[in-house]
Amino acid sequence: MTARPPASTLPSHRLSVAPMMDWTDRHDRYFLRLISKRTRLYTEMVTTGAILYGDKPRHLDFSQEEHPLALQLGGSDPAQLAECVRIAEQWGYDEVNLNVGCPSDRVQNGMFGACLMAKPDLVARCVEAMRGATRLPVTVKHRLGIDDLDSYELLTHFVRTVSGAGCDTFIVHARKAFLQGLSPKENREIPPLRYEWVRQLKTDFPHLTLSLNGGVKSLAEARAHLEWADGVMIGREAYQNPYMLALADSVIFGETAPAPTRRQVVESLQPYVEELLARGEYLSRVTRHILGLFAGLPGARGWRRVLSERANKPGAGLEVLRDALAQVPAHVLDAPATPPPSAAVPGPRSEGISDGVQAQPATLAQEALEPSAQHRA
């Protein structure tokens, strides 16, 4: 095992939270930043049309505390994408990511998202135009394939073509996508995970920066994948159980500062909430993102109940947040973050790449194997 570099040299893409529609808005990102200072955050996907012809501040504004922050774009017109990248740089983003992974019907009708996997030459032209318009890193998030276009050979052709246009960083969702017959939710769950394909990509393209996305539910799993991947992107688990990120700065990035307790996270959030309320916005704009802070712990049900029942009412203020906090025992509020169990690093598959063969999950401690059980509390 290679010695870990000093914390200050570890790039933020080592761990990131996936762009998730209706979830990773600016309020959620601010909240997550209170838990982890180093994890890279992504916006929800924003279409080129929304930026060019819509309300730019509504779609693009963010708090400075959110850095490092990437803007994910949806589009397929090179000229429009180039203009959006220029705007993103002016707005102060740290990265621009092109969505080539979303399989929803609405996205397909706009000719962007996962359907672009079938058009690697077009994606390459988009990337070339984007890179020519900015000094920011331009990255691509994509699937392993779509429908019947799902061989490893086609995947390598896609990566080779797009990287030839200047993209050196790919975030790979380790599943194919079905453009018809499955909902976006089903496309995140039904197609089998093929981690071995992503690992083989790293072997075949060692000069590229490759991040793994899909099915990662703990820091232990992330740390295991980082034995071979350049980065790991976590999706739903980071939203539904956000405190899982509390030790990310130390476990993934080597920082020495202590992780905040859950009480400290809520207290640090209160000034932000006060500013939001002063602008006349509803408390629920923030509180809907923090329901999972105590997932699986005593008091979690009461915390969720108070916020769900009262935060969306006119005039709801900080007293609702304080009343919700009072539902949680002090020993839970002040408990330090618990180090994740170790995980076995998935070994190489002796049979190599095989279509239709699902990657075997890493062997983990039982606590890391079943993180979703916490959400039944």
**Residue 214 annotated as binding?**
yes
* Catalytic (active-site) positions: 102
**Residue 244 annotated as binding?**
no
Greatest alpha-carbon pair distance for the chain in Å reads 62
**Residue 72 annotated as binding?**
yes
Burial label, 338 (beta-carbon count in 10 A; 0-12, 13-18, 19+):
exposed
Q: 262-333: what fold?
A: Four Helix Bundle (Hemerythrin (Met), subunit A) (1.20.120)
pLDDT at 24: 98
pLDDT at 109: 65
**Residue 19 annotated as binding?**
yes
Measured between alpha carbons, how far apart are the two ends of the chain, in Å?
A: 38
Structure tokens at 222: 């992330």
pLDDT means per 10 residues, the chain with 377 residues, are: 51 95 98 98 98 98 98 98 99 98 74 93 99 98 94 98 98 92 74 95 98 97 98 98 98 96 98 97 98 98 98 96 98 92 48 38 32 36
Helix (H) or strand (E) holding 43: strand 41-47
pLDDT at 246: 98
H and E: helices and strands count for the chain? 18, 8
List, in order, residues 6 or more apart from 307 with CB less than 8 Å away.
284, 287, 288, 290, 291, 320, 321, 324
pLDDT at 9: 64
Superfamily of domain 11-251: Aldolase class I (3.20.20.70)
Dihedral over Cα of 292, 296, 297, 302: its sign: positive
For the chain, the domains span 11-251, 262-333
**Residue 215 annotated as binding?**
yes
pLDDT at 179: 84
**Residue 213 annotated as binding?**
yes
**Residue 264 annotated as binding?**
no
**Residue 235 annotated as binding?**
yes
